[in-house]
Amino acid sequence: MDRRGSLVESQSGASPSPRNPLLCPDSHMDVQGYRWVYWRVWLCRWGAVLSLGLLLILFHWRPRLAVRARCCSCPLALADVLLLRDSFGQRMELVADLEDSDWRDTVQLHREEKTLLRYYLFEGLRYVWLARKGAFCRVSVLNEDWTCNDLYSFQRGLSHLEQSSRKKVYGPNLIDVPVKSYMRLLVEEVLNPFYMFQVFSITLWMVDKYYYYASCIFLISLLSISVSLYETRKQSTTLRSMAQLVTNVTIRRSSGEEECVSSVELVPGDCLLIPQEGLLLPCDAVLLAGECMVNESMLTGESVPILKTPLPAGEGRYSSQAQRRHTLFCGTQLIQARGGSSDGGGATAVVTSTGFFTAKGDLISSILHPQPINFSFYRDATKFLFFLGVVALIGTIYSLVVLSRSNATWTELVIRALDVVTIVVPPALPAAITTGTIYAQRRLKSQGVFCVSPPRINVCGKVSIFCFDKTGTLTEEGLDVWGVVQAGQAGFSELLPDPRLLPAGPMLSALACCHTVALLEGQPLGDPLELRMIQSTGWELIEPEGDQKALDAEFGGHRVLAVMRPPAQEVSVSEAGAIVRRFPFSSSLQRMSVVTVAPGGRPALAFIKGAPEMVASLSLRETVPEQFSSILRNFASEGFRVLALGYKPLDGKTDWRTLERGVVERDMQFLGLLVMKNMMKPESGEVINTLKLAQLRTVMVTGDNILTAVNVARNCGMMGSDERVMFVHATPQTAQSTPKLRFHLGEGGTQGTMEVLTEGLYQSGISYHLAVNGKSFSALCDYFPEYLPKVLMRATVYARMAPDQKTQLVKELQKLNYRVGMCGDGANDCGALRAADVGVSLSEAEASVASPFTSKSDNISCVPLLIREGRCSLVTSFSLFRYMALYSLIQFCSVLVLYTEKTNLGDLQFLFFDLVLVTLLAIVMGRGGPSEEVHPRRPSASLLAVPMVGGLFLHTSLIVLGQLAALFITKSQDWYVPLNSTKTGAANLPNLEDTSVFALSGYQYIIMAVVVTKGYPYKKPLYHNVVFLCILLILFAVMTWLVLCPGPVFSRLLQLNNIPDMNFKLLIVALAALNLLTCFVLELLIDHGLLSCRLLRGNRPSKKKYKQLDLLLSDCPSWPPLNQALSSAQYTVIGLS
């Protein structure tokens, strides 16, 4: 397509190679093309028939194998089937059948030629074939080159034919969440390897005449499938109702007519007319005329409505992120629109993205297809199943050898060998991983913390560094005006506490007019800082109502957006000002500006407000007082929020609608400083102290002044009062100089301290923190990559950071193997919140695109809660995983011991163990809540660590010894009668061997639940889990009753031998108590480092880069070198003699 979205290239052609890796932003995946080979297809069909469908099940599990078996590789342009691999490198291959449709493009229409549109859908996104690139690219690439002027050209609207053509390319404007039928869900669920294994196991048990057990497991599986299907479909339906937004909208056609159409018909390029009362936007659009007040809490978590202004015209390329203040995002609520038509009402926008390519589509896609989590716990779970598979193989070989000696038939040999596999690999093991997460998610929700990515709860337990935004996160959102300082020829004036006392002039007008506050039903809405600023002047905000032309005429015929009128008592000395153009605040530009006119259209003034350094750089040098730096440093070091203001007269004949921002915001006259006090939230200091005691690093990332940030860091406890601050100053390469890096001491550095530091002794007595601003951070990343990791290890304050720099910081910390947490209000932190391992947005919304976690509290008290819940969830998942593995190993040992004795457990014995004991314990053992404190040591996340695997081996050894001891004690009794050697398996029941092993193994299931259920320091002690404790006591009592006096009824049901010797029974109970004691002591020794890697392999350095760096810096007292200019290694000149 050309810039206006018309297709001008042929849709056919050959790809240069059969394999075309597309790892650019257009596609984000590796694509391979295949064509059907019909003889292979027929061969696979015959194979499926002969294998009774097993081949089709294998193809369902491994799509890549299915494609390679039935197809041959070919160029993408000729492909019938594509194999896709996404940018995360997932091994799960997805097959996409191409869809072809006839489509006539607007350029070739007069020739009556048809071209073939080839495309496929992947995760809701449409990819079209572009012969020019020889690749399938996201359809959004067709409008990525649109400039601002291109978008303005769409104001005339699209014709019906153009709109229809575009819809065939872009597809309908729907975020369609698929809701599968119950029958399809059932088939997919049953074909899951977990349920296929269940079907195999149930069939095997039925053949082996375990009818009761097989029937119960079948009913439980059926119930589990039913619940799973219901929940899956319910979630899909709920998400679909949240995602689908179909409404009627008004668009402009190329003929000039306005037409009401369904939002499903919208395509990029449509001219959208927004009514004055606003609407819930069904697409992404860019605002071209008028202003809109928008609530974006669904996307950013920011509850304060934002004023959107028209996009400036120009040849620059449009970007929805770079021009956020001019972009209206799908799913956001447009509260009101005005100034976009001749009568002053409504607004005009052009559609830029539809469907899953919108901001809301991105949110839904992140829920449907979450980014895979690189977490060792989840990786090791699969590997551990293979480990159990090896154990099963050993058990199978042993059982074959033992049973073959007992003259068992081949049928019995096969059944018994396969039965061992169903025992040692428990189907419920994968489900045990999620149990702790489910409990934690419920507890978090009850405390106002919502999670859209439950697996990340476990990741919270491994966070090692937490980054915090400042304003609205650590400090209060609102600011109190402390005073103003005017600039003049003699320098700065004294601080004037009340701006109302300012004389009439540019400074007072700048405070009253330089803002983006708007009225909604008579109430001012906007940034809290700007609201306080206006309130401090006492001026009144008025917006056009009714007859717009009358107000325009009052101010020289200019289109008026808002009017600021002085108080009645000041009318004689101050003139009202009409705002005729706004350039909203941009985090990257660190400023905003307005153009105002006085009654009659004169004089025209431009006002600017923003970061003092930025405003001073845009002002005439002679108007900036010499004391600027020292005054700013004094205010910032005391923790004040400082803004600078400037102004300049403009030519009244200028057309404000076409005026460029760069022209307005240069050669300003510096007016002075607005000083505001930002109060610390009372919870911030307590939370930071809690995290420091837990040895979690805390970092501040803010867009504010570096000295203000340092002051706040000291006040909240990130920096101690006795700790020094060193500022990092890095400069980029220029035409006159090479990049330089310097470290210099901050405030409070006495001569004595300076000498100590320069001698390199601060590591031994004086702690230090580094503070970096955004410009230095960018220079570090670009020119000093060799020093960047060291700076990251010691930096606590990052100031004047733009949103993309915050994201880059998170990624750089992750490169050092940190598990990074990020907490912000969501407004300017969206990228960093999503990039972090754990992102927490302080918002009223239950889910937002900003982060995986959303907290309804307006302070950071949710951070320790998340860490505690994450650790509790991780430890619970660990405990349940170990318990399910030990349950399998207990039963595995029991069966092998009894196989050796030519018998086996009975039908109802299996049922009693699995349902009454294990299932009941597994359900309630994860209910314990998190500890009240955050312990300095993080829990382990590796299932294959030496303590984990070694602990399982040692516990299994004690289990086997206990069961063998019970068996040998039984055989040593005077009344012992050997079992009937002519029978095998369950046919030999009841017998003394089985009864003794049943008794002790029953205790072992309960004992292991006690042993693996960990409490301190990550969970509350065991006695807090009252339900679990009660069930433990009940089950201990039940087992003791079954051992001591089961009665004839239960003896017959469970096929137990009635042993009259009470002393023997008490000996079995005592043996179980000894087993409990030994396992409990063993677990305590393991917890205290019995199997610690340090004991086994010495004190090896950590594999984590940040720990290695920390050790290196501790042994390097000469770093950082103070007041020395360091050169970049990339620009070092090496002289050769």
Q: Are strands 604-610 and 248-252 parallel, antiparallel or unpaired?
A: unpaired
Q: Which of 679, 614, 664 is nearest to 481 (CA)?
A: 679
d(CA 205, CA 663): 82
For residue 672, report the phi and psi dihedrals to the nearest 5 degrees: 155, -165
Angle CA 854–857–863, to nearest 5:
65
d(CA 875, CA 435): 11
Say what the alpha-carbon torsion angle 990, 995, 998, 1002 is, to the nearest 10 degrees: 120
Angle CA 1124–1129–1132, to nearest 5:
80
d(CA 998, CA 116): 71
Paired residues of 116 in beta bridges: 102
Furthest-apart CA pair in the chain: how many Å? 119
| Active-site residue, selected from the candidate residues 362, 380, 469, 994 | 469
CA 293 to chain centre: 28
Q: Tell which phi-psi region holds residue 15, choosing left (phi > 0), alpha (psi between -120 and 50) or beta.
A: beta
Q: Are strands 838-842 and 820-824 parallel, antiparallel or unpaired?
A: parallel
d(CA 204, CA 418): 8
Neighbours of 894 (CB within 10 A): 26
d(CA 82, CA 32): 6
Q: CB under 8 Å to 338, separation ≥6 — which residues?
A: 276, 290, 291, 344, 345, 346, 347, 543, 544
SS3 651: coil
Which secondary structure element, helix H or strand E, spans residue 444, and what is its range? helix 429-446
d(CA 435, CA 432): 5
d(CA 899, CA 887): 18
d(CA 521, CA 524): 8
> For 708-739, what is the HEC assignment?
HHHHHHHHHCCCCCCCEEEEEEEECCCCCCCC
Q: Six-digit token pair at 124?
A: 């809701």
What residue type is 252 in one-letter code?
R
Kindly state the DSSP code that residue 345 receives in the 8-state scheme.
Answer: B
d(CA 855, CA 825): 10
Q: Which of 813, 717, 818 is nearest to 463 (CA)?
A: 818
CA 417 to chain centre: 45
Paired residues of 742 in beta bridges: 729
SS3 31: strand
Q: Which of 154, 406, 443, 187 is nearest to 286 (CA)?
A: 154
What residue type is 1096 in one-letter code?
L
Q: CB under 8 Å to 271, separation ≥6 — which residues?
A: 154, 155, 156, 157, 158, 251, 252, 348, 349, 350, 351
Q: Are strands 640-650 and 697-701 parallel, antiparallel or unpaired?
A: unpaired
d(CA 468, CA 728): 20
The DSSP annotation for 116-148 comes to EEEEEEETTEEEEEETTTTEEEEGGGGGTT-BH
- Respond yes or no: is residue 102 known to be catalytic: no
H-type helices in 523-627, by residue range? 528-537, 548-554, 612-617
In total, the chain counts a number of residues equal to 1137
Asked if 415 and 204 count as a contact pair (C-beta separation under 8 A), the reply is yes
d(CA 863, CA 449): 10
Tell me which residues are annotated as active site.
469
